[in-house]
Structure 1
Amino acid sequence: MHHMATSSQQSADEAVLATLGYKQELRRAFTPLEVFGVAFSFIGVVPSTTSVLFYSLSNGGPVAMVWGWAFACFPIVCIGLAMAELASAAPTSGGLYYWTHSLASPRCRNFLAWIVGCNSLVLTAWWVASVDWACAVQITAAVSIATNQTYAKTNKELYGIYAAVVLSQAVAVSLGTKVLARLQKIYIFLNICLCLIIIIALPAATPLEYRNTANFALGGFTNLNGWPSGLAFIFSLTTPLWVIGGYDSVVHISEEASNAAVAIPWAIINSIAVSAILGWGINVSLTFCMGTDLSAIVSSPIGQPVAQILYNSLGREGALAVWCLVIAAQYMMGSNCLLVGSRQTFAFSRDGALPLSRYLYRINRYTKTPVNTVWFGAVLALAVGLLAFVGSQAIDAVFTIAITASYISYITPITTRFVFKNNFKPGPFNLGRLSFPVAAIAVSWMVFMIIIFFFPTTPQTNAQKMNYTVAVLGGFMSLAIFWYYCPVYGGVHWFNGPVSNIAPALRGEQGEEDSVSEKVT
């Protein structure tokens, strides 16, 4: 009976994909729980918080950590809801770029899909780079804890660890879909255990001298960077926005998920909701257990504020034990970033949208997964990591670039749905009348925050301390636009957005673009 239900579900999934113009090529081995696992461990509440807590610690301290987190959750939920509706209507690995092309006007849809596609492609490299760089820093923090804070890291050592992390993940992500799907349950378990350790065990073990009063923990405002208080509070939101980010990750495994039109939107919503609640609990726990000397925590020799808080509260052995779990969770998060990025690159190369498409659009005959795109993503991430040799601000920019680039990719399809005339057909998950107001809140918030992410860390800045987000992202976007309009070789001459692979004979023919967009919309 179960087998019949499974095969009928598989046929239904294949039929939905066929209406979107694609044949089933990847194995649908992800159950709804495992789909949730991809999004939840991609967010990775504890390891992510440890990576970027310095933003909220420096720009508001306890008030930013507790109330800034709560404040940011509402717009994040709105973005997630708007994304979930689109994912339910068209569950394909192409995701954001596919939706953009299907919903925009024929006059500009190729260009908009090109921009979102290029952006999403580079975004996967930024996510992998930011997560794995944080993982390398966490590994050096573990060495620092073990040596009683006598170890001092160099950029060369950090890059060496980073490269080892990226390459080992590429080997793991090259495995079969079934193995990758089953691993998600371990990831969920580890992430929830870590959250409970911080929320329950940390307050129980913290010595009296580091325990804070409710007054300080819930109302203390510490401003270490020198911005006016209101602006500092807004900058502190980088922490929750980066932590609860990348929830669109599950969209890119749509073609490997069972009942994708329902499982994908619910994975987006549930991963945001669970992460928001657990993350708030973690921040409250940390504010009660970190003592009042925040500048000592931010400039800690360990190099990681959360590691210093754990060291103060749990001692060397306890801190090291918890920190090893944090590193494991961060490592899993990086491998999921690479997994998701490889599926997205696979979708682009299937449509012939990349320079090396013919090599990238291949499924390994042993693992039945797109191994070439996994290694392509790993090489891109290794290249991004070289920013570390420019300076610490340049590599820190990978965090804000990851959010900024993802917001550009989110804004485009959400806006095109309402701005252009199209026959958008909602999927099983839809908000009805609330669709437009939710989308309006989401887009306004993202536009506002993109501007904020271009500001430098402190009001007094120089070439070393500037915020490289605008330079790197601006340079990349200019390159993408130039490549599109380039005479003879530019995308404007050959790029037609999503290309159906159900009838390969049609590929490249004039009517293809319209037939696909009819299927899509």
Structure 2
Amino acid sequence: MSVSKNNKESTIARRDEELLASLGYKQEFRRAFTALETFGIAFSIIGLLPSIASVLVYSIPNGGPVAMVWGWLVASCFILFVGMSMAELASSAPTSGGLYFWTFALSSPRWRTLLSWICGYSNTIGSIASIASIDWGCAVQVMAAASIGSDLDFEATSAQTLLCLAVIVALPAATPPEFRNNASYALGNFTNTNGWTNGFAFTLSFLSPLWTISSFDSSVHISEEASNAATAVPWAIVGAIAISGILGWAINMSLAFCMGTDLDGIINSPSGQPMSTIFFNSFGKTGTLVVWVLAASRQTFAFSRDGALPFSGWLYRMNKYTKTPVNTVWFTCIWSIILGLLTFAGDSATNAIFSLGVTSLYVAYALPICARFFGTNNFKPGPFNLGPFSIPVAFIAVLWMIFTSIILMFPSTPQTDVVDMNYAVVVQWGTLILSLVYFYFPKYGGVYWFKGPVPTLDVANETLGHHDDSAFDGDFKLAEKCGVEVLDSQPTKP
């Protein structure tokens, strides 16, 4: 039995290594993640309950219970379309470069270098913004705990600032009668306090599920560390989105039935956290504290591996002790802290970071999906394949990402000024323009040295032992399934 299991694992490991070699890369990570662990990474990064707690403030003012329940359901269904399209790409070419690798592989030769550059920078910026917004959400929740501990006498300032079952089951059981809502209110009450028309306010509430169910490309970026990656990674993406959508809907449903009707009091609570206020009303001080207390580096590595980021030589360095790219982890964390400092500029800047975590990632998600169908390539599906539904699913996914990216650029209220405007549009376009300036910069810009994904596998000097060297075209080879041209040497920056 043990021998049979070892043989199966050996076969899977060999197949993973051969697939990665066909994409032009040598095996640098240990294939340490099982299918369940690969799913767990995507699901844990979504971080359902704390994420919902962080962005509930966007749902309640833009529709109240209706936005929480039905807005979540609508958005999560469309997000699943995005995930399914991405899963097909991940199954075909599972590599840490993921999105920008696919963009280069599937785009027309004339545009592939520029598009992969934009995709890589958008993915990097979106990941950094996501970490910064997560950190802010964590800080707000810590301050909410302090507020609860002081019986709501403590109010946090900007500078101070998997318990799903507990919310779904324990919250309704513990909620006093005066805070329980009937089905008519929980499922049908629409409260709009921000001044937009009801329809537009409802779409603005999508930020809650959009930000919560995001960064599911994290599974893609550990493709080179996952066992049976061509199957495990796509199912991790789809599974994480689907389960998060269902559980998130149940959590929002529970909150809508147990939040009472004083929405202004919840929004303007001294704790600064709508969910903590709902918990405080239902569980009391001690119970809430118990629940509250329990309650993107690999892509940067791949992008720096191809020389696209400043200081790529330092970033693309495996730590000899941990066998992981520690430098890229620190790079991502440091820039997340720098971006997080924008929260000192006020609520509008904080909102911009949350929005940027979605819009930048959606730019990176949409490019390879579009390239697959509009680029010059001979794409061959992997084990995860939607068949005839690939085109309609991709079409809906891209339209959804374009629509929501535009919506998230709008301010929270129609009457706005310099202080209250949505700076997501400034940061989003500013970072894109800066990346283009860097690309076209005279003499030193990426246009002179960036050639897209660069193979690291030199078959002439480093064989896998079980490969037939004649199967390779002399030196390097990229996957024929993705239609990537062979690159003879690694580019060097002037």
- 5+ residue gaps, structure 2, are 462-472, 484-494
Q: What residue is the counterpart of 1:258 in the other structure?
A: 227
Please state if 1:290 is matched with 2:259: yes
- The alignment's TM-score, normalised by the length of structure 1, stands at 0.88
SS of residue matched to 1:155: coil
Shift of 1:505: 8.6
Answer whether contact 2:458 2:475 (CA < 8 A) is retained: no
Q: Aligned AA for 2:62? A: N
- 5+ residue gaps, structure 1, are 159-190, 327-340
Q: 1:516 aligns with which of 474, 478, 492?
A: 478
Q: Deviations over 1:254-313 (max 9, x none)?
A: 000000000000001111111111111111100110000101101110010000000000
Distance 1:426 1:280 in 2: 32
Distance 2:145 2:443 in 1: 53
SS of residue matched to 1:247: coil
SS of residue matched to 2:478: helix
- Mapping for residues 34-113 of structure 1, pairs under 5 Å: 34-113=37-116
Distance 2:303 2:94 in 1: 15
Q: What residue is the counterpart of 1:6 in the other structure?
A: 9
Answer whether contact 1:499 1:513 (CA < 8 A) is retained: no
Q: What residue is the counterpart of 1:373 in the other structure?
A: 328
Q: What residue is the counterpart of 1:436 in the other structure?
A: 391
Q: 1:23 aligns with which of 4, 23, 26?
A: 26
Shift of 1:9: 1.1
Please state if 1:143 is matched with 2:146: yes
Shift of 1:319: 0.6
The answer to which structure has the higher helix fraction is 1
Distance 2:300 2:440 in 1: 22
Q: What residue is the counterpart of 2:285 in the other structure?
A: 316
Shift of 1:354: 1.5
Change (3 A) 1:475 1:30: same
Shift of 1:359: 0.8
- Mapping for residues 6-405 of structure 1, pairs under 5 Å: 6-158=9-161, 191=162, 194-326=163-295, 341-405=296-360
Q: Aligned AA for 2:10? A: S
Change (3 A) 1:473 1:513: farther
Change (3 A) 1:505 1:373: farther
Q: Aligned AA for 2:366? A: I
- The alignment's TM-score, normalised by the length of structure 2, stands at 0.93
Q: Deviations over 1:384-435 (max 9, x none)?
A: 1110222221022111111111111111000010012210010010011110
Shift of 1:69: 1.2
Q: Aligned AA for 1:352? A: G
Shift of 1:504: 8.7
Please state if 1:414 is matched with 2:383: no
Q: Aligned AA for 2:270? A: P
Distance 1:520 1:486 in 2: 30
Distance 1:519 1:414 in 2: 15
Answer whether contact 1:90 1:99 (CA < 8 A) is retained: yes
Change (3 A) 1:119 1:513: farther
Answer whether contact 1:78 1:441 (CA < 8 A) is retained: yes
Q: What residue is the counterpart of 1:162 in the other structure?
A: none
Answer whether contact 2:459 2:474 (CA < 8 A) is retained: no
Q: Deviations over 1:208-231 (max 9, x none)?
A: 110111110111110110111111
Distance 2:182 2:155 in 1: 34
Change (3 A) 1:15 1:505: closer
Answer whether contact 1:85 1:427 (CA < 8 A) is retained: yes
Distance 1:268 1:156 in 2: 36
Distance 2:439 2:409 in 1: 25
Q: Aligned AA for 1:315? A: G
Shift of 1:74: 2.0
SS of residue matched to 2:19: helix
SS of residue matched to 2:16: helix
Distance 1:432 1:243 in 2: 29
Shift of 1:239: 1.0
Q: How many residues align?
A: 469
Q: Aligned AA for 1:230? A: G
Q: Identical aligned pairs, as a percentage?
A: 56
Q: Larger radius of gyration, structure 1 or 2?
A: 2
